[in-house]
Amino acid sequence: MKDHDLSFDEFDEINNPRPEECDFDRVVESAISRRGFLSVLAVGTATFLTGTSALTGRADAAADRFGFAQVAANGNDDITLPQGFTSSPVVNWGDPLWSDAPEFDWSVRGTAEQQKMAFGDNNDGMSIMTVGDKTVLVINQEYTNRDIANAHRESKLPETDDDVLKGMLAHGVTIVEIAETDSGWGVVKDSPLNRRITPQTEMDITGPAAGHDLLKTAADATGTKTLGTWNNCANGETPWGTYLACEENFNGYFRSADKDMEVPAALKRYGVGVDDWGYAWAQIDDRFDISKTPNEPNRAGYVVEIDPSDPTSTPKKRTALGRFKHENADVVINKDGKVVVYMGDDERGEFLYRYVSNGVYSAGGSTDDLLVDGTLYAAVFSDDGRGKWAELSEAATGMSAAEIAVHSRIAGSKVGATTMDRPEWVTSNPNKAEVYVALTNNKNRGIKPNKGGDETPVGGPNPRAENKYGQIVRWMPDNEDHTAEGFDWNIFVLAGNPAVHSDDKAGTPNVNAGNMFNSPDGIAFDSKGILWIQTDGNYKNEGDFEGHGNNQMLAADPETGEIRRFLVGPVSCEITGLSFSPDRKTMFVGVQHPGEKGFASHWPFGGDTVPRSGVVAIKRDDGGVIG
């Protein structure tokens, strides 16, 4: 397998192996605490046996809360939806955003000049936002499928400087006005709101790390100005109309011309090493060569706040929200007005975080400091269904505020934060003080420590060794106060395969042969309080995953625990990104990396075309509200 066929985690695993030493006895002791595991399950078998449709997948579509009948798992190179729903393409990788931009060139999969003015690759988190009377899609372009974008090169990797720049410019964020016409939703070319934000866009660094020596480089002696954002995974939205783009696997773009360089431990914790991931950005920009610019990796791994209403605005990196492999940023306005942001760090054995602002939000008031001035916490779960937020304070960590902001993982280790099964999206229930996190999977659970050497014992919210399927965990803050120290927690669903396994790999009772899935990743509530689950998992449909089919999207009822499959994506894609039109009659869903790893996909254009990630608009055939 070539490096570019590996997942981010697999690459890190090979290039930055974790410490070997692990207190295995303690791990095993914890693993066998099955009573503890059962006691924290959210809902007992009895609850599920009363809901026949949850077990059989049959449903009276009109009469229940979901409003659709479950679709079957499949391996089709298409989008499958329930009867009564239709999808149409909105925008795909390489689509021009301005009328003077060239069309996508299928033969070379675009050029740098063309990509600069076009929708980027591998769209991920997104928000439909309203600016005046315009509807705007703001969307992350997480990374590139190197073997697809460079399929005309023998190496299937970027070779020329233009190839490298094309790949670089396919990253970042796209802001594009969209509109619905008789032919469906589509791009409004030349809208004054259209903007590409790339790894070359100037940004401000704000918060406790701004101006610190760790962030200074030859090009920026102030440590307050940086260029660009990349590997933007999922997202967040603020009530003051800004978009949050979250930098995830920022490490895979750095390399060192000096292969014997001793990489500092603080960079190793984030997987920065002497080899990049096949992007070759150092070939055109010394910033990505850590032997020349050792502080540049400290300037990535943040949440970036973007104002889509002003195309001339400078995006702001919010170091107060910590530096790690950010998945998304779920913003909650607490009952006292404080801004609370829940965030996951998606790597095996890393932590779940909470940010609490010092100031309070009021509509129309200043929001300048709300993501600048505040406190970061990491979650500590107990096996008894309780948990607490450990403050990443100078006293608790022995680190300065700037060091905590830059080396947040190290700070989390110092307070004994719970090592998690890869925290992906976090989302809060709009109807109650209750927050959900998708823990996607973790083959190292109970086997290996995290990159900082913290053990990964089996138990609590991570109850299965070598976790193949993932789970969704939820917590309820004490006194319905999102700033409270303590919380209760339980497991909403353990994904699994009850057709293959009868032990805990079968999953919780709300998983059955009709609705099974693996690797929950994107999770988000709609306005009705339905929890939508998007998967980024094993799509080989064999062995442990037989019957799971392609990656998919499901709907879950947070009250009953019932889960029903709504959508199946095309071959080898991941389903990620969810938002709704202002009238809630259109659901926008993202399809990422169809055709990755050499699987044959021609989505969405068919024939023998190159697969191209994109966004689809889903509507009810009766024109009704969808979410």
Residues near ligand FEO, by CB under 6 A: 124, 142, 233, 248, 327, 346, 424, 521
Name which position in 285, 521, 557, 562 contacts Ca ion (CB under 5 A). Answer: 521
Name the minimum Å distance from CB 343 to ligand FEO.
12
Beta bridge partner(s), residue 377 = 354, 391
Q: Is 163 exposed, middle or buried (0-12, 13-18, 19+ CB in 10 A)?
A: buried
Separation between Cα atoms, residue 505 and residue 518, nearest integer Å = 11
Cβ-based nearer residue to ligand FEO, 13 or 142: 142
Name the minimum Å distance from CB 259 to ligand FEO.
28
> 536 is written with which tokens?
């980024």
Cβ-based nearer residue to ligand FEO, 114 or 328: 328
Residues 396-425 that bind Ca ion (CB under 5 A): 424
Q: Which of 596, 618, 602 is nearest to 142 (CA)?
A: 596
Name the minimum Å distance from CB 422 to ligand FEO.
7
Longest Cα separation, the chain: 65
Cβ-based nearer residue to Ca ion, 461 or 520: 520
Cβ-based nearer residue to ligand FEO, 123 or 483: 123
Q: Is residue 496 within 8 Å of residue 469, measured between CB atoms?
A: yes
Name the minimum Å distance from CB 32 to ligand FEO.
30
611: preceding bond cis by omega (within 30 degrees): no
Cβ-based nearer residue to ligand FEO, 81 or 233: 233
Cβ-based nearer residue to Ca ion, 343 or 433: 343
CB contact set of 128 (below 8 Å; sequence gap of 6+): 135, 136, 137, 138, 178, 579, 580, 581, 582, 588
> 343 is written with which tokens?
């965030």
Determine the interface stretch with Ca ion among 18-26, 337-345, 555-563, 567-575 (rule: CB under 5 A): 567-575
Q: Which does 391 bind (CB under 5 to 8 A by kind): ligand FEO, Ca ion, none?
A: none
Name the minimum Å distance from CB 620 to ligand FEO.
29
Cβ-based nearer residue to Ca ion, 331 or 380: 331
Is 536 a binding residue for Ca ion by CB under 5 A? The answer is yes
Name the minimum Å distance from CB 322 to ligand FEO.
16
Q: In whole angstroms, what separates CA 385 from the centre of its chain?
A: 26
Cα distances (Å, whole numbers) of residue 6 to 24, 167, 394, 406:
28, 18, 38, 27
Q: Which does 248 bind (CB under 5 to 8 A by kind): ligand FEO, Ca ion, none?
A: ligand FEO
Separation between Cα atoms, residue 308 and residue 523, nearest integer Å = 23
Reported residue count of the chain is 627
Determine the interface stretch with Ca ion among 313-321, 441-449, 497-505, 519-527 (rule: CB under 5 A): 519-527
Name the minimum Å distance from CB 347 to Ca ion.
11
Give 417-440 as a DSSP string. Answer: PPP-B-EEEEEE-TTSS-EEEEE-
Give start and end residues of each alpha helix (H) in 407-476: 408-414
The contact set with Ca ion (CB under 5 A) reads: 424, 521, 536, 574
